[in-house]
């Protein structure tokens, strides 16, 4: 009887062992099935997309002769160990009398944006400084840098101080508008404290997200701001996608030519600048958190203020212009009905006319 019991217990033990092995085998099959599904539906498409993107975007597009000339004619400034590119127009004749102008570009482009309007203004100013902000154009482009509007404002204040410029007119666009607003805020604070520092003589803004509530980022900007997905999107960014999304923010009748689109793309891609775009877009959140400070500076300031607006801009639609008129009634305005988000590129004649008329009204005469 005892032997039968022992034998029965042995059979039970063997059965449990077989069942345990069978369960482990099923678990292994399940894991392999999940791995196969994951590879088939995620890893493989991702690898193919990455390979396709690399095929499209590498090697990097060659700079056109015009863009290369712009780069080669510029200067370099060291800011916290980072190389900042800038143009100093009329530098060789800077001993003449006159006033100075600072040009601030937008996202995701560079100082090259001002190429169509900068040279006709040479006779109006003593010096014209056009920078590539940190992370843009031909400046250094650290991928995982903590980009902030405050740092970009400090960069420009330091550069102008290094160049011996103590007062300046500012002409800005898009992200440059926001940087200019922070520079204006600092100027007002210094004035209240009666401290020395950079004097802002006038400010002209154009098609920037001055009011966060009327600013509508594009789909690609929204994707680039999402953690992980944003960085993947940056790596997968191709010229085909850039061409379509970038052209869409121009007016229907002021579309950039294929060559112009390629120039914008090659400057963005220079030193892998497209990989830094997710970090740069932090400025959209900064606009919301600093709205009172930056809009307040425009309301409180007594310096001459002007706004040039491309009416076909999908990022800052008509509601943005209406909000500007209501909140800043003391500002003069130029509306370019056919231009989109880049009015200084799309309608350079209309843009220049509006800005030079503003300078005439505030008494900025030709340099001599």
Domain around 332: 75-362
Task: Determine, yes or no, domain membership for 37.
Answer: no
CA distance 117 to 124: 12
Instruction: Assess if residue 17 is contained within a domain.
Output: no
> Is residue 31 domain-resident?
no
Is 146 part of any domain? Answer: yes
Asked whether residue 54 is assigned to any structural domain, the reply reads no
Tell me the residue ranges of DSSP E strands in the chain.
Answer: 75-79, 82-89, 100-104, 127-131, 167-172, 199-206, 305-310, 332-336
User: Among 24-33, 207-216, 218-227, which range has the highest average pLDDT?
Assistant: 207-216
Residue 142 located in a structural domain: yes
What average pLDDT does the chain have? 88
* Dihedral angle of Cα 87, 88, 92, 93, to the nearest 10 degrees: 140
Alpha helix locations (H) across 87-148? 115-118
Chain segment 73-116, per-residue pLDDT in tens: 999 999 999 999 999 997 655 555 689 999 999 999 999 999 99
For the chain, the domain total comes to 1
Assess whether pLDDT exceeds 50 at residue 16: no
Tokens 């069942």 sit on residue: 19
Of the candidates 264, 21, 270, the residue with the CA atom closest to the CA atom of residue 138: 270
Q: Whole-model pTM?
A: 0.84
Q: Quick check: is 11 in a domain? A: no
107 falls within a domain: yes
pLDDT 10s digits, 326-344: 999 999 999 999 999 999 9
Structure tokens at 291: 């709205």
* Mean pLDDT calculated for residue range 348-361: 97
The helix-helix angle for 175-193 and 291-300 (nearest 10°) equals: 70
The CATH code of the domain that includes 217 is 3.40.50.1820
């Amino acid at each position: 009887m005892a032997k039968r019991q022992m034998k029965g217990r042995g059979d039970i033990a063997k059965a449990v062992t077989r069942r345990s092995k069978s369960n482990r085998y099923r678990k292994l099959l399940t894991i392999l099935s999940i791995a196969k599904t994951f590879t088939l539906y995620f890893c493989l498409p991702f690898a193919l997309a990455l390979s396709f993107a690399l095929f499209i975007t590498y090697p990097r597009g060659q700079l056109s002769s015009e863009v290369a000339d712009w780069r080669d004619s510029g200067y370099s400034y060291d800011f916290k160990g980072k190389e900042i590119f800038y143009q100093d127009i009329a530098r060789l004749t800077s001993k003449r009398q006159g006033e100075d102008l600072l040009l601030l570009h937008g996202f995701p482009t560079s100082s090259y944006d001002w190429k169509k309007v900068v040279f006709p203004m040479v006779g109006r100013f003593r010096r014209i400084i056009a920078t590539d902000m940190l992370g843009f154009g031909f400046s250094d482009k650290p991928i995982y840098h903590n980009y902030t509007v405050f740092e970009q404002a400090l960069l420009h204040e330091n550069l102008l101080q290094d160049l011996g410029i103590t007062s300046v007119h500012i002409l800005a666009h898009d992200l440059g508008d926001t940087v200019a607003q922070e520079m204006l805020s600092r100027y007002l604070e210094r004035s209240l404290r009666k401290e020395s520092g950079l004097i802002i003589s006038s400010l002209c803004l154009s098609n920037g997200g001055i009011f966060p509530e009327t600013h509508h980022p594009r789909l690609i900007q929204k994707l680039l701001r999402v953690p992980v997905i944003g960085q993947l999107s940056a790596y997968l960014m191709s010229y085909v996608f850039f061409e379509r999304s970038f052209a869409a923010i121009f007016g229907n009748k002021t579309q950039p030519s294929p060559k112009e689109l390629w120039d914008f793309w090659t400057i963005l891609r220079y030193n892998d600048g497209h990989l830094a775009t997710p970090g740069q877009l932090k400025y959209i959140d900064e606009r919301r958190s600093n709205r009172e400070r930056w809009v307040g500076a425009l309301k409180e300031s007594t310096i001459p203020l002007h706004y040039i607006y491309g009416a076909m801009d999908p990022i800052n639609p008509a509601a943005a212009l209406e909000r500007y008129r209501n909140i800043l009634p003391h500002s003069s305005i130029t509306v370019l009905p056919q231009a989109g988000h880049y009015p200084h590129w799309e309608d350079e004649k209309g843009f220049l006319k509006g800005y030079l008329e503003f300078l005439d009204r505030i008494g900025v005469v030709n340099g001599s």
